[in-house]
Chain A
Amino acid sequence: MSDVVEKTLTALPSLLSLDPQPGSAKLSSTSKLGNLIRGITELTSKHEEEKLIQHELASIKDQVSSPNTSMRQMKELMVRAIYCESLGYEASFTYIHAIKLAQQGTALEKRVGYLAVSLFLNESHELLLLLVNTVLKDLQSTNLIEVCMALTVVSQMFPKDMIPAILPLVEEKLNHPKEIIRRKAVLALYKFYLIAPNQVQHIHNKFRKALCDKDPGVMTASLHIYLQMIQENPEGYKDLTASFVTILKQVVGGKLPMDFNYHSVPAPWLQIQLLRILALLGKNDQSASAVMYEVLDESLRRAEMNHNITYAILYECVKCIYTIHPKSDLLEKAAKCIGNFVLSPKINLKYLGLKALTYVVQQDPRLALQHQMTIIECLDHSDLIIKRETLELLFRITNAQNVVVIVEKMLEFLRVNTDDYTTIDLVGKVAELAEKYAPDNEWFIETMSTVFSVGGDMMQPDIPNSFLKLLSEGFDSVEEDRKLRLFAVDSYITLLQKEPGKLPQRFLQVISWVLGEYSHLKDELEPTVVLKLLAKLLDMKHTSSETKSWILMAMTKLCEGGAEVSVVREVSETYSSSMDTVLRQRAHELQYLSQDSELRAKVLLRDNGLRPLEVDSSLSFLDGFVSEALAAGAAPYKPPHQRQEELAQAKALSLEPYGLSLPMSMSSCSITDRQSPTLLSMSSGLSGDSAEISHKGGSTSLKLDGVKRVWGREGYLPQRAAVEEAAQVEVPCTLRSPSQQGDADSSHSQTPTSTPTPTEPDPEKQQLASLFFGLSSQSSVCLMGKPEPTPHRFRRKAKGVTDPTSSSLISTPSNVEKLLCNNLLDSNIASELAVSSAKQITELPQGLKTASCDVEAELTDIADIKQNNPSLIVDNGIVAAADEDPDRPKDLCLISHLPAELSELCHSEITPLCTIQSLVLSACHLQKEDSLVLAVFISNSSDSALQHIVLDLDSEQLEVSCVSDSPAEDFRGHSVVVYQYSLTVKRPSIHVSIEGTVSFQLPGEAPQAAQFSYKLPLTIFIRPLTVSTEEYGTMWLSFSHDTKQNLTLIGDGQEALTATLNVLKQKLQLHVVEIIGQEGILSCRLLQDQPCLMHCRVHAGTLAVWLRSPVPDLPDCLIYHCQRALQEY
């Protein structure tokens, strides 16, 4: 088929030469569009084209504005306008006519009008409002084509605010007898969901109806919505798992009509969509995953055909299998599949294979090892995209052993790459690897130098920043730091002596900073030499003024009086008359400080390395000045946004409710009253212009050290983490058993030669196999320390054992089974690394205490069980579900560990967070009047004490601060510690979550870590805010973020408003300020005084709600919860 297309397309050039040939008979040769196109194809220069189009546009303009032009002619004109626009010439004068055409034309003319509108305008274009009525009318039309057109344009673009107007009509279309209309309506609703999720909340059950539609096309359309919603909240749709599986089963089994086949594959796009949904649902959910195994297996089997689209299905299958809870035989098949992809001669498949490997390799590095020769070949592939994908894969498997080779490969690619985007991306990756795994100082400095010269001025600015930070903060050993810095100085001096003209500006800045700070470390180096080199940089043509000021600062640091003064004097004289004010200032600083050594010693402290300078961010030293000025009658300071607001208020007529009832002076007066002197100076420090300038100056010149360090201290952590990580990698290596060692060694040296490749692998490639150094040892790390996902469940039951109240007898049988299953999976992966799994087994009973001692004997026979009883794995899902209940009573006992002052408070259900070996983490939250406390329980069920327990919580939306002193680092066996955190909202969101990591160490073993997350609804942070109506009015005016929406009323008649507000009061703790007739005002606050005000009015049977708050997003989140609360009621 595609051959036919290609043949006809190759015939094109001859057609374009305008000879009267059969092809041109098709063209409407007399039409004006035809003439225009003909004219354009004849032209040769861009300039001529422009002239012709301008002429054309002028003639279109004439005609459209003439009253005699009929709709029919207008249609033709519009197509010409579309053509001009597609060539990039604006025809904005036709926009209004396009809308007119859509409004007034017949169906065909409408079609052109709608098309033109959807091509010309965007969602926020003001003219679009004129279209709303037309769309409304067409949605109600009896002509199906008109309805289709309206739905299409609605899904293409529709003003967000106008959605409520047409929503009911679109919803109605879900019941339309024609499936094409239903399908388009579903997609239109999906579009609404994307741009305004709040508006379509109430029709979620209609989506379910669409999912069950008898027409598979409509069902397919509804999957778009489900994919999106499940991505956002997988927990909410677990109940649909079985339905999706059934659908997929039917599709795979060929139950759909033949119409849906594509190259005799049943509905491939539908399958792809379903597989993606299943992957989302099965992620971290064993019971959901268990439902899918069968159909995934079936899909894999059926898709073994040789068409492009079956590979698409296979790829999704593989991704799904690696995302959901693992099942060994599926994993095996998936791995084989990936192998086929990578080895395929088809380049698209190779690409996807590499992508799949990149995805999988974090879980199973050995897979990469299997394909190492192919991967190395891909590195030399002629297609840059393949090469880049390979590097991405290598980036994921980099470790301390192979970093040198991998980084070398990346730099090699960078040197030939011309695409900016790739360069920026890759440079960042190299810098990251270099910081994480650098084997020694020399390598690190040299690699970073290459990064700076290749990355040039495009790279992310944080790369040089973090490099300098690393240099200035140093590592743990002073001697090491000195060596690193010294080496940096050495290599930069060499660079400057060669050809500094070729170096990018960013690199020059880094060099000058390093030389300024550290060249004194090198005793035999004369400052004059460095100064001369720097001065030479200043004279270069390409040096930007920003770089120049870095250089001048470096000179300031270097100049200690003596011989260098002459060099410095010349420089400072040149630049003290520079037009650039910053440069001029630097030059003056240089001049004065080089002459006054006493002042210099005070300002530029050397070797104060780690002592952070204190910066008075509140500018309290200005307080005296401010109060004096105030006393003298100066106007108090107002932050810019307040000034602006007042200005707007003064200018415009306020049309907002409450605005009229308040005298203008009162609001401004209350604002000034609120400001205390300290607050004043504070805000002036933060937003005052003058302060900003001095701040900026400080950060780049004299105060450089201080400012950097404050900023650097919090950035110190990653550096630390990297060191720890390296340690983690190292330790298990030494623990490796001899057999493993041999294993790893053989894979380094033998595999390249033993791997069957068509040609004899050349020595270079063999050497490259060192890319995979450390991989095998890493896989053993994974297995031994592998906390997730398999051992997860196993630990959960250990928790049941810790609990003294629950009878361990009850849970034992299921525990045994679960243990087996987990170990089945584990041992499967570990099959050849029997030693390590045996090791794991010996660890297990510690956490299990007596109840599971008898398990131990069985565990050693794991290999047998695996062969005899594969169905165990499937059973497991059911067992896990049944096992929920015995956990219950444990809540009580954990609560008893809370400190006295907290145990009185009402607490949420205790939810398990994660389990790692014998450590069980669970948490609950407690509501206090003025705060929210999160209590994290860590229970140690092993006999031995745990060391170095570190719990680290973080959240995007919340401020998390530790309340309790962290308990002792070592913690005894069979005990529970409680960490308390106070939570406040940083950035409101409908649901907030906290991510955390816990790490600990068993005596004499490697440290272990696990991650977890904890979700909370925003509502628990809401507290009533008691204000009077007057205060409410003042506040209302000063808040800048708002949102409006109609909510359903509860009950009807007179009492509806009161009833509805009472529900909100009960459920969300809103404070009802006053109810006046059909209007009501409510207020609430988030913890830590972030108020939100609500105004509601009964209007046409609904409750029109208007929320305002100084906090962005808060109104939107609150309206969501209001809606939920009313719905639930």
Chain B
Amino acid sequence: MIKAILIFNNHGKPRLIRFYQYFAEDMQQQIIRETFHLVSKRDDNVCNFLEGGSLIGGSDYKLIYRHYATLYFVFCVDSSESELGILDLIQVFVETLDKCFENVCELDLIFHMDKVHYILQEVVMGGMVLETNMNEIVAQVEVQNRMEKSEVSDVKQGL
């Protein structure tokens, strides 16, 4: 199971926060801070796995992260997930974002936080990996986008 997905930038500003296990609000912020603290002090040439942040729960949990220019993508998972598998899932997620936003950048994530959430929902559902095929994910997102467009045009016609 995936316990949480955190995206923050190099300064620790959260860009997308998705918890699949309940934590109280202040606990969530603490986890984000601690995770950032752990991840940000690591060089780029060390391994992408971290074990046992004390907050999110003991030795069974791992942080698996990737660093893209200004952003950290961190997945917190338990032992039932494959480390390298998740590492590639992050890559799939980022590539999907790139496809949906046409050259994604941090600003897209900030200004379209809701859309990023919808894309993520097609990849991970309730902490379980739903889809790993990028084309399939993009197709699902596009179905939703079409709906959005038709609604907008409806409104325009109404005007």
Which residues of A are at the interface with B, using a C-beta cutoff of 8 A?
1-2, 4-6, 8-13, 15-16, 23-24, 26-28, 33-34, 37, 79, 82-83, 85-88, 90, 106-108, 111-112, 115, 119, 122-124, 145, 152, 155-157, 180, 183-184, 187-188, 190-191, 217, 221, 224, 227, 259-260, 262, 268-269, 272, 276, 308-309, 311-312, 315-316, 347-348, 350-352, 382-383, 385-386, 388, 419-422, 425
B92 CB to closest chain A CB, in angstroms? 8
Instruction: Give complex CA distance A190, B128 in Å.
Output: 9
Q: Does B40 count as interface, using CB distance less than 8 angstroms?
A: no
The answer to whether B88 touches A26, judged by C-beta atoms less than 8 angstroms apart, is no
**Which 7 A-B pairs have CB atoms at the shortest separation, nearest pair first?**
A9-B69, A312-B84, A155-B126, A122-B22, A383-B46, A421-B54, A88-B29
Question: Contact partner of A217 among B28, B29, B131, CB < 8 A?
Answer: B131
Instruction: Give complex CA distance A260, B136 in Å.
Output: 10
Instruction: For the A-B complex with A155-B125, A312-B83, A425-B59 known, give 6 more contacts whose Cβ atoms are closer than 8 Å.
Output: A13-B70, A83-B113, A187-B130, A262-B92, A312-B84, A385-B51
Residues on the A chain within 8 Å of B60, using CB: none
The answer to whether A112 touches B114, judged by C-beta atoms less than 8 angstroms apart, is yes
Residues on the A chain within 8 Å of B80, using CB: 227, 276
Instruction: Give complex CA distance A388, B118 in Å.
Output: 38
The answer to whether B82 touches A16, judged by C-beta atoms less than 8 angstroms apart, is no
User: What is the 8 Å Cβ interface bit string for chain B, positions 26-67, against chain A (1 contact, 0 not)?
Assistant: 101100100000100011011111111110000100000000
Q: Does B100 count as interface, using CB distance less than 8 angstroms?
A: no
Closest to A310 in B: B84
Q: Does B153 count as interface, using CB distance less than 8 angstroms?
A: no
The answer to whether A86 touches B14, judged by C-beta atoms less than 8 angstroms apart, is yes
Question: Contact partner of B54 among A8, A106, A157, A420, CB < 8 A?
Answer: A420
Given A23-B105, A187-B128: A385 in contact with B111 (beta carbons within 8 A): no
Residues on the B chain within 8 Å of A352, using CB: 83-84
The answer to whether A23 touches B52, judged by C-beta atoms less than 8 angstroms apart, is no
Closest to A228 in B: B80
The answer to whether A272 touches B49, judged by C-beta atoms less than 8 angstroms apart, is no
The answer to whether B54 touches A348, judged by C-beta atoms less than 8 angstroms apart, is no
Closest to B48 in A: A348
Instruction: Give complex CA distance A766, B109 in Å.
Output: 52
Residues on the B chain within 8 Å of A348, using CB: 47-49, 83-84, 87
Instruction: Give complex CA distance A111, B121 in Å.
Output: 11
Instruction: Give complex CA distance A180, B143 in Å.
Output: 12
Q: Does B129 count as interface, using CB distance less than 8 angstroms?
A: yes
Binding site of A, secondary structure by majority: helix, strand, loop or mixed? Answer: helix
A283 CB to closest chain B CB, in angstroms? 16
Residues on the A chain within 8 Å of B49, using CB: 348, 351, 385
The answer to whether A2 touches B46, judged by C-beta atoms less than 8 angstroms apart, is no
The answer to whether A27 touches B140, judged by C-beta atoms less than 8 angstroms apart, is no
Given A86-B14, A111-B144, A425-B59: A23 in contact with B107 (beta carbons within 8 A): yes
The answer to whether A26 touches B18, judged by C-beta atoms less than 8 angstroms apart, is no
The answer to whether A259 touches B107, judged by C-beta atoms less than 8 angstroms apart, is no
Instruction: Give complex CA distance A224, B128 in Å.
Output: 8
5 A–B contact pairs at CB < 8 A?
A27-B107, A156-B20, A224-B128, A312-B87, A388-B51
The answer to whether A382 touches B46, judged by C-beta atoms less than 8 angstroms apart, is yes
Instruction: Give complex CA distance A318, B27 in Å.
Output: 38
A721 CB to closest chain B CB, in angstroms? 24
The answer to whether A308 touches B88, judged by C-beta atoms less than 8 angstroms apart, is yes
Closest to B17 in A: A86
A849 CB to closest chain B CB, in angstroms? 47
The answer to whether B148 touches A108, judged by C-beta atoms less than 8 angstroms apart, is yes
Residues on the A chain within 8 Å of B98, using CB: 1, 4-5, 8
Instruction: Give complex CA distance A217, B68 in Å.
Output: 29
B113 CB to closest chain A CB, in angstroms? 6
Given A187-B126, A224-B128: A115 in contact with B114 (beta carbons within 8 A): yes
Question: Contact partner of B46 among A16, A188, A385, CB < 8 A?
Answer: A385
User: What is the 8 Å Cβ interface bit string for chain B, positions 114-127, against chain A (1 contact, 0 not)?
Assistant: 10011001000110
Closest to B13 in A: A87
B159 CB to closest chain A CB, in angstroms? 13
User: What is the 8 Å Cβ interface bit string for chain B, positions 75-101, against chain A (1 contact, 0 not)?
Assistant: 000001011110111011011001000
Instruction: Give complex CA distance A87, B12 in Å.
Output: 11
The answer to whether A421 touches B53, judged by C-beta atoms less than 8 angstroms apart, is yes
B8 CB to closest chain A CB, in angstroms? 10
Instruction: Give complex CA distance A955, B84 in Å.
Output: 37
Question: Contact partner of A312 among B16, B69, B85, B148, CB < 8 A?
Answer: B85
Q: Does B103 count as interface, using CB distance less than 8 angstroms?
A: yes
Instruction: Give complex CA distance A34, B143 in Å.
Output: 26
Closest to A275 in B: B82
A413 CB to closest chain B CB, in angstroms? 14
Given A259-B136, A385-B50: A5 in contact with B104 (beta carbons within 8 A): yes
Closest to A143 in B: B147
The answer to whether B88 touches A156, judged by C-beta atoms less than 8 angstroms apart, is no
Question: Contact partner of A119 among B18, B83, B95, B144, CB < 8 A?
Answer: B18
Question: Contact partner of A145 among B17, B83, B147, CB < 8 A?
Answer: B147
The answer to whether B132 touches A269, judged by C-beta atoms less than 8 angstroms apart, is yes
Instruction: Give complex CA distance A962, B41 in Å.
Output: 57
Closest to A125 in B: B22
The answer to whether B105 touches A12, judged by C-beta atoms less than 8 angstroms apart, is yes
The answer to whether B105 touches A8, judged by C-beta atoms less than 8 angstroms apart, is yes
Instruction: Give complex CA distance A224, B126 in Å.
Output: 12
The answer to whether A191 touches B85, judged by C-beta atoms less than 8 angstroms apart, is no
Given A1-B95, A88-B29, A187-B125: A308 in contact with B84 (beta carbons within 8 A): yes
The answer to whether B88 touches A12, judged by C-beta atoms less than 8 angstroms apart, is no
Closest to B83 in A: A352
B130 CB to closest chain A CB, in angstroms? 6
Instruction: Give complex CA distance A16, B114 in Å.
Output: 20
Instruction: Give complex CA distance A111, B147 in Å.
Output: 11
The answer to whether A6 touches B113, judged by C-beta atoms less than 8 angstroms apart, is no
The answer to whether B69 touches A6, judged by C-beta atoms less than 8 angstroms apart, is yes
Instruction: Give complex CA distance A156, B120 in Å.
Output: 13
A111 CB to closest chain B CB, in angstroms? 7
B110 CB to closest chain A CB, in angstroms? 6
The answer to whether A10 touches B108, judged by C-beta atoms less than 8 angstroms apart, is no
The answer to whether A422 touches B29, judged by C-beta atoms less than 8 angstroms apart, is no
Residues on the B chain within 8 Å of A4, using CB: 98, 103
B41 CB to closest chain A CB, in angstroms? 10
The answer to whether B16 touches A269, judged by C-beta atoms less than 8 angstroms apart, is no
Residues on the B chain within 8 Å of A107, using CB: 147, 151
Residues on the A chain within 8 Å of B118, using CB: 111, 115
Instruction: Give complex CA distance A1121, B132 in Å.
Output: 39
Instruction: Give complex CA distance A187, B103 in Å.
Output: 31
